[in-house]
Amino acid sequence: MSARTVLAVSDLTAAYGNATALHGVSLEVREGETVALIGANGAGKSTTLRTISGLLAARSGRIAWEGKDITNWPADRVVAAGLSHCPEERHVWPEMTVEENLRLGGYLCGSRREVDRRAALAFGRFPRLQERAGQLAGTLSGGEQQMLAIARALMSEPRLLMLDEPSLGLSPKMAEDVFAVVRDINRHGVTVLLVEQNVHNALSVASRAYVLETGRVTAERNAGDLRDDPDLLRTYLGG
């Protein structure tokens, strides 16, 4: 694993109206890592991803991608720079087919041929989606919709993939399949920043983890240390 930092977030603040959601969040992601953001509901995990990806404006602080300041770039420019965001609750277009949903992820491609190439790669990685290419996305199972959302995010060929709650609402078996996909994506060179409510699932794929509490980073630890020490987990997360 390279030690080169590709994403550096420094003293980031963000708000929804008058309600401040992030209070000086700082974190870094190195090339080739999977880094998890963990914490209770409302801790600011999803807000952190939304601010990095340009869906929510930062009030202050800095977001640097490969050394370049991308703070408050529009979302399409963030995607073009090499970051892709797979949102919570999947947000597939239910009245469009699996293939149509997938191809929409390649909207920044310069040609139809390039979209075709990326779609073929996606179907090769997700054979279940290829079997259902002509099926309406709204008729897929929750796990299949999650696979589609991840495949669609990969259509931009990101160097950093941000995943928000990929196992939300899934059966344990389907969640296991999704995290196998996350491992495979990372093995093939895509750096991953993961938000996941299921702490043990998150720590099973991550190399490092940041703990968020009420919009603040309260700890950064090696994922293995947290995974193997229940007392340490309780110290940071309660319960």
Domain at 108, CATH number:
3.40.50.300
Question: How does pLDDT run along the chain (239 residues), one tens digit per residue?
Answer: 457 999 999 999 999 999 999 999 999 999 999 999 999 888 999 999 999 999 999 999 999 999 999 999 999 999 999 999 998 877 899 999 999 999 999 888 878 999 999 999 999 989 999 999 999 999 999 889 999 999 999 999 999 999 999 988 888 888 888 899 899 999 999 999 999 888 888 999 999 999 999 999 999 999 998 888 877 777 767 65
Residue 24 lies in domain: 5-237
Query: What pLDDT was estimated at residue 238?
Result: 65
Instruction: Give the Cα-Cα-Cα angle 94, 75, 13 (nearest 5 degrees).
Output: 115
Joined tokens for residue 64? 């640097």
Concatenated DSSP letters of 189-228: T-EEEEE-S-HHHHHHH-SEEEEEETTEEEEEEEHHHHHH
Q: Are strands 19-30 and 5-16 parallel, antiparallel or unpaired?
A: antiparallel
Q: How many separate domains does the chain show?
A: 1
Identify the helix (H) or strand (E) that includes residue 144: helix 142-154
Return the beta strands (E) in 42-165 as ranges.
58-65, 68-69, 83-86, 160-164
pLDDT at residue number 191: 97
User: From CA 47, how far away is CA 20, in angstroms rounded?
Assistant: 10
pLDDT the model gives residue 87: 87
